[in-house]
Amino acid sequence: MAKPTSKAAKSVKNKTGQFAIAILAAGKGTRLKSRHPKVLHEIAGKPLLAHVVAAASKVVPPQNIFAIVGYEAEQVREALAPTGINFVLQREQRGTGHAMMEARNALKNFETVLVLSGDVPLIRAKTIKRVRDFHHAHRAAMTILTAEPPDPTGYGRIFRKQVKGKASGEVERIVEQKSLRGTEAEQREINSGIYAFATKPLYTHIGKLKTDNAHHEYYLTDMVALLGKAGEKVLALRASDSIEVFGVNTRIELAELDAKLRDRKARELMLAGTTIFRPETCDIDAEVEIGPDTVIEPFVQLIGKTKVGADCRIRSYSVITNCEIGDGVLIRPGCILEDSVVRNGAQLGPYSHLRPGSDIGEGAHVGNFVETKKARLGKGSKANHLTYLGDAEIGEGVNVGAGTITCNYDGVNKHGTTIEDSAFIGSDATLVAPIRIGKGAYIGAGSCITEDVPADALALGRGRQVIKEGWASERRAKLNKASK
């Protein structure tokens, strides 16, 4: 038989117009017991189907990818629209075979169609290519990607043709879990639900599928026996890593694959130069980027499209969502950051809370129990303790004292606070917005500031201190007398 690298194989393979990928994604996912479509359930911060589309997109352009959708089709379409793939509607979900019948018009003009499952998310582009090349090289009608996982329960089992008492490369039939009889259940080789088909034999024979099975559905797996009877070649190709073909049918499997994917992500990052201590305790989403020599401590979560630069240290229990972190940033334990920017050399925490729209300047410090929202802190500015900064523009070299509050909300509208470069805000100041503190101005501790402060001025907004000599001892004497 020809090797995948032969000239014949290459010439077929290079005609992408001849090659489509169909992704089965119409099912409800009954076993998840969910109100939402199964393929939109997320692992590593991304819907199951988006993982499959990402792998497929590395093999063919999006116009050659067809997701077959049905249950909550509009929701699925909307979630995946940015990928540019095509959608085929399977109005009623009458089985995996029926899904391929419904896609006939979309797929019939391609020479080969590779079928992926929207609920088998760990599949890699290189494995898809391997199935395609093997299928072409052997000129098969159907090639099934198979695996031998430690526990085959739940999967369809592969029964190979016996030649002189030995299993051959050809497959005779696939038997679904519920239809296994007697010793058939001992069969360890499983169907991954990933196949390559030559479209011509597929669509010549697909009409013969029947629904005489446990689920009364059209099983795509029955194509094996149908094609075999028609004298077509059906081959099996073993996956090199069975993890890639694990499917999600229950929430237990969802959690297992989430862990596997995050493990894979952490390994990739470590190989690329990031230190991650106790990676099994960290949750790093699939699209997160981290620069070299950054250290991630245990129990850190990096979510969504977060980017972290080089030489940073992210200490334990910090949760960082959709943020851009520069180089050399120190994030101490327990910080919560969302949709914000932290520039080179800045230091946060412990327990800082950056809400959306915060921008922490180069070398700036934000300390314990400081909350920011839509607040920009200029280069080298500091807000180290117990402060709320909302809708604030803060210049460079500003010192914001402990307990400072921007009063940005009047019950109806939000107002801005501007603090110019090098200003010094004494502890426990309340700045009632809209307000502007001029360059280099001082605000006395405990002040309530309601009017703009000019540059280089001192503003005091507090009652004068009064001393009443001997007041306390007199009071104590009075109280003692009364209690006798």
Footprint of Ca ion (CB under 5 A) = 119, 247, 249
> Closer CB to ligand UD1, residue 150 or residue 231?
150
Selecting among 36, 138, 205, 385, the annotated active-site residue is 385
| Best CA proximity match to 171, nearest among 140, 199, 136 | 140
291 binds ligand UD1 (CB under 6 A): no
CB 246 within 8 A of CB 261: no
Is residue 379 helix, strand or coil? coil
In angstroms, give the least distance from the CB of 29 to ligand UD1: 7
CB 171 within 8 A of CB 234: yes
193 binds ligand UD1 (CB under 6 A): yes
Could you tell me the two tokens for 269? 């990052």
Q: Which helix (H) or strand (E) holds 476?
A: helix 471-483
Is residue 376 helix, strand or coil? strand
382 binds ligand UD1 (CB under 6 A): no
In angstroms, give the least distance from the CB of 98 to Ca ion: 15
98 is catalytic: no
Binding-site string for ligand UD1 from residue 223 to residue 262, where x marks contact by CB under 6 A and - marks none: ------------------------x-x-------------
Query: Which of Ca ion, ligand UD1, none lies near 401, with the C-beta cut-off 5 to 8 A by kind?
Result: none
Q: Which helix (H) or strand (E) holds 168?
A: strand 166-175
Bridge partners, residue 432, by sequence: 407
Query: Which of Ca ion, ligand UD1, none lies near 220, with the C-beta cut-off 5 to 8 A by kind?
Result: ligand UD1
Among 197, 219, 424, 442, binds ligand UD1 (CB under 6 A): 219
Query: Which of Ca ion, ligand UD1, none lies near 93, with the C-beta cut-off 5 to 8 A by kind?
Result: ligand UD1
Eight-class DSSP state of 236: E
406 binds ligand UD1 (CB under 6 A): no
195 binds ligand UD1 (CB under 6 A): no
CA gap 481, 477 in Å, rounded: 6
CA gap 255, 373 in Å, rounded: 33
Q: What backbone torsions phi and psi does residue 100 show, to the nearest 5 degrees?
A: -70, -30
Query: Which of Ca ion, ligand UD1, none lies near 155, with the C-beta cut-off 5 to 8 A by kind?
Result: ligand UD1
CB 120 within 8 A of CB 245: yes
Among 32, 113, 171, 220, binds ligand UD1 (CB under 6 A): 220
Query: Which of Ca ion, ligand UD1, none lies near 189, with the C-beta cut-off 5 to 8 A by kind?
Result: none
Could you tell me the two tokens for 280? 């099994």
Query: Which of ligand UD1, Ca ion, none lies near 221, with the C-beta cut-off 5 to 8 A by kind?
Result: ligand UD1
Binding-site string for ligand UD1 from residue 92 to residue 121, where x marks contact by CB under 6 A and - marks none: -xxxx-xx-----------------xxxx-
Could you tell me the two tokens for 187? 């069969």
Q: At what angle do helices 125-137 and 48-57 cross, to 10 degrees?
A: 60
Give the start-end residues of each E strand in 322-377.
324-325, 330-331, 336-338, 341-342, 347-348, 353-354, 359-360, 365-368, 371-377
155 binds ligand UD1 (CB under 6 A): yes
285 binds ligand UD1 (CB under 6 A): no
The residues that are catalytic are: 385
Binding site for ligand UD1 (CB under 6 A): 24-27, 38, 68, 70, 90, 93-96, 98-99, 117-120, 155-156, 174, 176, 190-193, 219-221, 247, 249
